[in-house]
Amino acid sequence: MSNEFRIGKVRGYRRGKIWYLCYNEQGRRHRPRVGPDRNAARQLASQINSQLDVGAPAALSFESITIEKARQQWLEHHEQVSRSSINTIHRYRTATDHLLRFLDLKPVRTIAQFTPSHAAEFVAYLRSIRVSPNGHERTIKRPLLDGGLIYVLETCRTLFSYAKKRRYLSPYAENPFQVLNIDRIPIEEFRPIELFKPEEERVFLQQCDEWQFPIFLTLMLTGMRPGEMCHLLVPEDIDLEKGSLRIRNKPRLGWQIKTRNERDIPLVPELVEVLKLHVSRYPSGPLFRRSTWNSGPRNLVTASQAMIERELNLRMVREELRAKRALERIEKLRIARALWNEMGALQEDRLRIEFTHVTQAIGLSHQSAPKVLRHMFATTLQEGRVDPIIRNLLMGHSISSDRNSSHGLGMTAVYTHTQAGTIREQLTEAMQRREAIKVAREWLRIQATN
């Protein structure tokens, strides 16, 4: 049997027991390794030859590109095609920054040169570095926790999957991060979630001042994300007569819900009464404003959402005329944030600071994130035996339509249409076990006597 063959522009030859192909594409010579099977080598040679004849990329060809350039294209894909949120893109960029800093120490120039052994070394590198929690530069740096390490590796795995689809990796090369079996890395170091005990919940609310009380009571009894609370508008998002609150996307005001899932949250009677007193001070604009805010521009103090949208659009048009180009999404977001700030809207960072002020005052300084109140809400629903689909709706989580998916509630949730009255009934019943309800009643009695 001959050790060579030729099919058009492709030559095959055997070295030892392994067959190789040789061909030129766009001025570059390629010699891919095929394997010990002569027939498989001939079939692949025939496929590559036909692709070369019509000018299509050969089956085994790939483009040499740096990891930094591939990452930039991947982030632009999320920006322009997937339309991921600004915060999501920021997290992807931050996670892959670790990879670029690691590569400064390695002679790896192209993404195709990055091997599974490099990926394993990258894991060791991640375990050796110290990071600032939540990206806050002024905080004391600590080692990267296992959850954060896994997130970085998963993000890099997604980046390399994108590169493989774009033919930046050798077709017969594995994703180096896939080889690591990231899903099997144990989480040994993590920051545990400690819920307030009933007496701690009572002391926390009693420590709140008149401005803080309705804010944290609302978080406790609705399970909203802090960002959702900071973007509620009166009267568009709240109906105290019906006792409900609407979490809505506001793309024309530069804000979207994390999962894009809008939802209605029924309000327990005690929270309705507290919010009635609060809204009487601010009948329009952001539901919750900064404690230091007195009044903003006259055209924004009593503006409806439609008027605010027009004002934001005018500002963006003026900025585009000044810059003589179309604005990028991040630039539009900065303008929108400035407008929310002028209206006095409560900011997420301010919410976190106020939360820590209260927890430190009552000796719970280890509680530093208001997100724990969302965990408590979800736990109360679970302990109150609230239907899983209703829990999913109230939390605003994504529901997968894949009947075999382990995430969400599958096709059952798609075919289930829960009545608003049922949601209200189960939520109200579950919340009655909360100490926050008792404190709210006491607070309302004090307000009534003042």
**pLDDT (0 to 100) of residue 114:** 92
In CATH terms, the fold of domain 198-293+344-449 is: hpI Integrase; Chain A (1.10.443)
pLDDT digits (tens, 9 = 90+) for 174-206: 899 998 989 888 887 767 788 999 999 999 999
Strand residues in 222-299 grouped as ranges (E): 233-234, 238-239, 244-247, 263-266, 285-286
What are the tokens at 34?
Answer: 């095929």
pLDDT digits (tens, 9 = 90+) for 248-298: 999 999 999 988 889 999 999 999 999 999 998 777 889 999 988 776 666
Residues 292-313, mean pLDDT to the nearest whole number = 80
- The band of 406, judged by pLDDT with boundaries at 50, 70 and 90, is very low
Residue 402 has pLDDT above 70, yes or no: no
Residues 405-423, mean pLDDT to the nearest whole number = 68
pLDDT digits (tens, 9 = 90+) for 120-173: 999 999 999 988 876 566 667 888 888 899 999 999 999 999 998 888 887 667
The more confident residue out of 81 and 418 is 81
Q: Has domain 67-184 been given CATH number 1.25.40?
A: no
Provide CB contacts within 8 A for 182, sequence distance 6+. Answer: 150, 153, 154, 157
| All structural domains of the chain with their residue ranges | 4-54, 67-184, 198-293+344-449
**pLDDT (0 to 100) of residue 107:** 85
DSSP 251: G
CB distance 19 to 12 below 8 Å: yes
Residue 60 has pLDDT above 70, yes or no: no
**Residue 112 burial by CB count (10 A; 0-12/13-18/19+): exposed, middle or buried?**
buried
Three-state SS at 253: helix
pLDDT digits (tens, 9 = 90+) for 113-127: 899 999 999 999 999
- The band of 99, judged by pLDDT with boundaries at 50, 70 and 90, is very high
Share of the chain above pLDDT 70, in %: 91
pLDDT digits (tens, 9 = 90+) for 439-450: 999 999 999 987
Look at the block and give the residue holding tokens 């390490």. Answer: 149
pLDDT digits (tens, 9 = 90+) for 16-55: 988 999 988 777 788 888 888 999 889 888 988 888 887 7
pTM of the model: 0.76
**pLDDT (0 to 100) of residue 401:** 46
| Number of helical H runs and strand E runs in the chain | 18, 12
Is the link from the previous residue into 192 a cis peptide, with omega within 30 of 0?
no
The more confident residue out of 62 and 72 is 72
Residues 338-353, mean pLDDT to the nearest whole number = 92
Residue 222 has pLDDT above 80, yes or no: yes
Look at the block and give the residue holding tokens 């594409």. Answer: 25
Residue 407 has pLDDT above 50, yes or no: no
Residues 345-356, mean pLDDT to the nearest whole number = 93
pLDDT digits (tens, 9 = 90+) for 360-378: 999 998 898 899 999 999 9
**Chain mean pLDDT for the chain:** 88
- The band of 110, judged by pLDDT with boundaries at 50, 70 and 90, is confident
